[in-house]
Every structure is written in structure tokens, then in C-alpha cells.
């Protein structure tokens, strides 16, 4: 018995000794790995410093250490992935403008056509429209600065400024013999991201062009304004490049009353987060169709994919862009920041968007509806002695059964059948909504 006890204790002591030896080896191995890692980091930093020093000293053109560091940061972040980048002062300022949704400026959309800075369109009611700028005007000078070889970003940065400050644009206009100078006073330009129209008596069409800080609020207002008559909603997210995550979440929450909306997972556990729907924020349960295409990205993919997973909407159009990563803006100075990818998005079903995109339930390619009439068909009205059009009474007034409402349909805020025939994806969405309304009763 004593021997047995001795043997047991012996084994216990041996196990403890082995455990201590293993722990010591693991600790030593871990410390060695950490030391190697630190040495590697120091070598890399020394190499970087050496290269900076050599370029500063021997480059053919004089370049400052500040410029070299900026170029190094730009190169480093742009090579991480397609969405990470270094934001210098003007880039950081531009980003703030986009997310805030308003700025001091002129109110024009510009582009480069045949190498010339051209006005695509002035925005209605803005200083540019009031001053008489027209679509197709070519901008030769902004104040006294020539636009030759000027990028769109550079031009936009010059044209934006403090509200109330004047600016002169020298333009060439078709039909004019000499350049014109347009004097404009900068005003507050509000970027409208939500457009609402009606289709027929009971369908609400909502177009969201980007996800700025007021999207969910504006959509809520439009729905509440027409809630009594709306039996179906078409949400148009085509060519929507995305924007703020919280606005995408809040937009889904308007239509979904429970369950996950989207989750994000990254390298660090602190970056993992799940966003869920709240019943108190849901304001409608009418049938929905969401229009998407290859230009629908990021936040618009979260909205469309989440509504699809919840079986809350039917997706019509084409496969989306496939941008399912999470970027954060991390300021490094008061005027500069870095945009860094920290996580990936996952839809309620667990599927990812990144490099995959969201597939529509019904694929429809863009184009027009074939509306060619068959001139050889014969109808009742073509027969001799056909019965006349039936007259019915509406609110006590006699009216023809098929009233012509072309003038009413042409009013602002109404999508006419002619407009739908030029957009087959929208037409398909409307037909689906009509069917869903009939089924719902």
C-alpha cells in the first residue's frame, strides 16, 4: 500500500515536473518569437528611414521630408486594399462635405467632355441656375485660373467656398460668338439624396441616390406623408454608391420589425458588431420592390440584401457591385485622416457581400419597353354599330369610363406610363408591386 502510494506520488511529481518544463519551454519559445518579431520591426523601420533619407538627398528634384512622408503614406494605404487611403486636407474636407449633405457652392454638376470642363446640369433653385448657367456650357476659367488640364476634383474644390463669397466663371456657350462671364454668389447647396414620386394612386416610388446623414429621416417623412394611400413601395437603389452605415441600418429598420439587419466581423473582436431591427422604428409593412444594378454598392447592398434575407422585398434588376467591407475614418491630425478597412459585412443569413454582391430575385436588363402597336388588329370600336362608351357616375357627376388624365400625370412628382416605358426595370417592378397588392387584398 505504501509502495502504491509512493508510486502514485511519484507519477504526480513527474507530471508536475514535465508540466513546469513544458511551461518554461513555451514561455521561452514565446519570448524568443516576440524578440524576433520586434527585431524584424526595427529592421523594417530602419530600412524605411534609410530609403527616405536617400531619396531626400539624391532625388533629381528637391523634395521635403514632409512630401516624402505623405507620398509614403498614400502608397502604403492604397496598396492595402481598394478602399483604404490617406486623406490629406482637401480630401478629408471633401469627405466631410459628402457625409454632411450640404456645403457652400454654386449648385452645378460638372464633368470632362472632350478634354474640357463642362457643365452637365445646374441644380434647380441654386445660385448657378439663377445666374443662368446652362447644361453644355464649357468652363474656360474659374476666376482668373484656367481650367486647362484641371481635374474635376480640383475644379470642384475651387468652386466651393464660403456662403456669400462671389465667383466668376468664363464660359463658352453654343450659339454665342464670344466667351461669357457669369458672376455668381456662393450659396448653401443641399445635396438631395431622397426623391419621392407616385405611380398611379397607390404606389410610392422612392429614389435614394446616396446614404448621407438624412436619408432615413427623409424616407420616413415621405412615407408618412402618403401613408394613407400607399399600398406598395418601390425603392430605387440603382447606381447608389453607398455612404453611412447607420443610415443603411435605419433605412432597413423602417421596413423590418425584428431580427438582424447586418453584422460586421474583423480581425479584432472589438470591431465585431451586430445591428438588429427594432419594432418601434418600423412604420410600414406594405409590399416592396427594390431596384438594383451593378452600380449599387456598399450601404445600398446592405439594404437590398437584408430586405431580401428577411423576405421583405423582391429585388429586381442586376447583380450589385460587391463592396462588403467596413471602413473607418481615423483622424491623425486636425486636417488629415486615414480611411482604413477594419471588417467585412455579413447579411442576416450569414452570407458575405464582399466581391460577391447581391443577386436580384428577378433579373432584368436595362432598356426600354417595346411599345410597337399592331396596326392590323381589330377592336370593338372598329366595328360598325358598336355600342357606345358607357357613361358612369362618379360623385354624382357623369364622366367617361376611361378618363384621360394625361395632364394630371404630367404634373411634377408623378411617374407617367410613358416614363415607365423608357425604363423596363422600373416597369417590371411596378408590375410586380401591382400583383403583390392584389394578392394582399
- Check pLDDT > 80 for residue 339: yes
- Of residues 407 and 279, the one with the higher pLDDT is 279
Q: What pLDDT is recorded for position 388?
A: 58
Question: What are the boundaries of each domain within the chain?
Answer: 104-190, 194-363
Nearest residue to 399 via CA among 410, 411, 409, 389? 389
Cell 529592421, located at residue:
43
Per-residue pLDDT band at 37 (split at 50, 70, 90): confident
- DSSP state, 362? E
- Check pLDDT > 80 for residue 121: no
**The CATH number of 194-363 is which of 2.60.40.10, 3.90.226.10, 3.30.9.10, 3.40.50.970?**
3.90.226.10
Three cell numbers, residue 183: 458672376
Catalytic residues, which ones? 298, 309, 323
Three cell numbers, residue 422: 423608357
- Angle CA 185–191–192, to nearest 5: 130
Nearest residue to 235 via CA among 290, 314, 297? 290
Q: What is the mean pLDDT of residues 184-213?
A: 90
Q: Where are the alpha helices (DSSP H) in 198-321?
A: 215-225, 245-255, 299-309
Nearest residue to 281 via CA among 311, 318, 251, 236? 251
Contact of 367 with 420, CB cutoff 8 Å: no
**Spatial distance between the Cα atoms of 240 and 189, rounded to a whole number of angstroms:** 20
E-strand stretches of 160-281: 166-172, 180-185, 187-190, 194-199, 203-208, 232-236, 260-266, 273-276
Phi, psi of 415, deg, nearest 5: -95, 120
Q: What is the mean pLDDT of residues 89-115?
A: 77
Three cell numbers, residue 270: 472589438
What pLDDT, in 10s, does the model give residues 318-327?
A: 999 999 998 8
Nearest residue to 248 via CA among 107, 358, 363, 84? 358
What pLDDT, in 10s, does the model give residues 138-187?
A: 999 999 999 998 877 788 888 988 889 999 999 999 899 999 999 999 99
Q: What pLDDT is recorded for position 18?
A: 56
Q: What pLDDT is recorded for position 21?
A: 58
**Spatial distance between the Cα atoms of 307 and 315, rounded to a whole number of angstroms:** 9
Taking phi first (over 0 means left), then psi (-120 to 50 degrees means alpha), and beta for anything else, what does residue 395 get? left
104-190 with 194-363: one CATH topology?
A: no
**The CATH number of 104-190 is which of 2.40.110.10, 3.40.50.300, 2.30.42.10, 1.10.10.60?**
2.30.42.10
Contact of 315 with 292, CB cutoff 8 Å: yes
Q: What is the mean pLDDT of residues 237-256?
A: 93
Q: What is the largest CA-CA distance in the chain?
A: 124
Q: Where are the alpha helices (DSSP H) in 59-184?
A: 65-78, 89-100, 127-131, 152-159
Amino acid at each position: 500500500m505504501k509502495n502504491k502510494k509512493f508510486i502514485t506520488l511519484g507519477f504526480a511529481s513527474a507530471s508536475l515536473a514535465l508540466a513546469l518544463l513544458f511551461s518554461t519551454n513555451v514561455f521561452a519559445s514565446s519570448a524568443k518569437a516576440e524578440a524576433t518579431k520586434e527585431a524584424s520591426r526595427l529592421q523594417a523601420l530602419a530600412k524605411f528611414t534609410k530609403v527616405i533619407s536617400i531619396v531626400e538627398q539624391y532625388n533629381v528634384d528637391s523634395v521635403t521630408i514632409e512630401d516624402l512622408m505623405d507620398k509614403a503614406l498614400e502608397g502604403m494605404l492604397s496598396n492595402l486594399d481598394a478602399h483604404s487611403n490617406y486623406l490629406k486636407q482637401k480630401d478629408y474636407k471633401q469627405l466631410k462635405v459628402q457625409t454632411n449633405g450640404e456645403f457652400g457652392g454654386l449648385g452645378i454638376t460638372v464633368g470632362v467632355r472632350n478634354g474640357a470642363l463642362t457643365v452637365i446640369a445646374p441644380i434647380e433653385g441654386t445660385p448657378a441656375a439663377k445666374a443662368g448657367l446652362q447644361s453644355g456650357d464649357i468652363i474656360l476659367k474659374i476666376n482668373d485660373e484656367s481650367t486647362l488640364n484641371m481635374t474635376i476634383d480640383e475644379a470642384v474644390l475651387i468652386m466651393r467656398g464660403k456662403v456669400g463669397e462671389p465667383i466668376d466663371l468664363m464660359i463658352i456657350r453654343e450659339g454665342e460668338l464670344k466667351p461669357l462671364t457669369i458672376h455668381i454668389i456662393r450659396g448653401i447647396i443641399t445635396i438631395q439624396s431622397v426623391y419621392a414620386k407616385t405611380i398611379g394612386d397607390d404606389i410610392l416610388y422612392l429614389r435614394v441616390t446616396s446614404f448621407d446623414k438624412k436619408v432615413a429621416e427623409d424616407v420616413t417623412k415621405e412615407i408618412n406623408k402618403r401613408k394613407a394611400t400607399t399600398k406598395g413601395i418601390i425603392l430605387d437603389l440603382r447606381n447608389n454608391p453607398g455612404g453611412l452605415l447607420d443610415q443603411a441600418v435605419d433605412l432597413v429598420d423602417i421596413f423590418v420589425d425584428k431580427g438582424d439587419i447586418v453584422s460586421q466581423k474583423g480581425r479584432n473582436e472589438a470591431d465585431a458588431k451586430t445591428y438588429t431591427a427594432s419594432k418601434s422604428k418600423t412604420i410600414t409593412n406594405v409590399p416592396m420592390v427594390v431596384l438594383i444594378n451593378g452600380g449599387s454598392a456598399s450601404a445600398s447592398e446592405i439594404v437590398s440584401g437584408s430586405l431580401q434575407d428577411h423576405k421583405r422585398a423582391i429585388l429586381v434588376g442586376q447583380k450589385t457591385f460587391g463592396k462588403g467591407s467596413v471602413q473607418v475614418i481615423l483622424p491623425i491630425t486636425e486636417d488629415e485622416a486615414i480611411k482604413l478597412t477594419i471588417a467585412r459585412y455579413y447579411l442576416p443569413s450569414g452570407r458575405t457581400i464582399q466581391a460577391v454582391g447581391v443577386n436580384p430575385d428577378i433579373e432584368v436588363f436595362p432598356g426600354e419597353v417595346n411599345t410597337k402597336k399592331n396596326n392590323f388588329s381589330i377592336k370593338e370600336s372598329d366595328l360598325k354599330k358598336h355600342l357606345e362608351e358607357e357613361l358612369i357616375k362618379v360623385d354624382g357627376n357623369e364622366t367617361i369610363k376611361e378618363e384621360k388624365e394625361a395632364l394630371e400625370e404630367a404634373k411634377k412628382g408623378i411617374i407617367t406610363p410613358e416614363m415607365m416605358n423608357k425604363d423596363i426595370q422600373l416597369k417590371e417592378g411596378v408590375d410586380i408591386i401591382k400583383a403583390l397588392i392584389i394578392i394582399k387584398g
